[in-house]
Homo-oligomer: A and B are copies of this chain.
């Protein structure tokens, strides 16, 4: 949702939003490295725009924590140490665990059907080894859980924090067995939800997220990223 990637109304998209998304993506993919200075005029030239929308984009990124503004001294990409990334992962893991606990107690039959449907459909994706499709499913699965908390503010926060972390998800599921194990962990979570055991669902979700984090950490250390 609210992705903006496949917009048919491209001419309506604001230049500042385009720049913001582009910069966020470049920071996410590592094209713009941590600590790099972001010169307004330079960026304006690169995007064929003036400094005004660039500045607005940078301010929004700053509010999201992706860059830091030092008054009158320019903007730099926020430093992402391995420790900080692990902190972010732990935070997301805890929030996901919190969400699934609340969701277990509050999910409606209709929402439960939807979740089961999603989960069942994902089995075929795993068999095909389709990483991109699984990534999409995975997002839908977790967002369905956020939604089932029946706390829209919490759901928004969870999505926002998850999106910030998604900067580093590109490497997360690149290992085949991780995809299998991810599905198995989802299965275990689904079972706990079905049994109405929110605490167990919570523990399993936390473990699930930390497993993903560990896989990523190994990848980062192996490739000397960040």
Contacts A12-B72, A91-B157 given; does A152 touch B56 at CB 8 Å: no
Is residue A117 within 8 Å, beta carbon to beta carbon, of the partner chain?
Answer: no
Number of interface residues of A (CB under 8 A): 32
Contacts A63-B64, A87-B152 given; does A12 touch B71 at CB 8 Å: yes
Residues facing B in A196-225 (CB within 8 A) are none
Residues facing B in A44-93 (CB within 8 A) are 52, 55-56, 59-60, 62-65, 71-72, 84, 87-88, 90-91
Hey, which chain B residues are within 8 Å of A88, CB to CB?
A: 153
The one of B52, B65, B151 in contact with A52, judged by C-beta atoms closer than 8 angstroms, is: B52
Hey, which chain B residues are within 8 Å of A95, CB to CB?
A: 95, 98
If A52-B52, A59-B60, A87-B151 are given as contacts, then 14 extra A-B residue pairs at C-beta distance below 8 Å, sorted by A number, are: A13-B71, A16-B59, A60-B62, A60-B63, A63-B63, A65-B156, A84-B152, A87-B153, A90-B153, A90-B154, A91-B151, A91-B153, A91-B154, A94-B98
Residues of A in contact with B (beta carbons under 8 Å apart): 12-14, 16-17, 52, 55-56, 59-60, 62-65, 71-72, 84, 87-88, 90-91, 94-95, 98, 102, 151-154, 156-157, 161
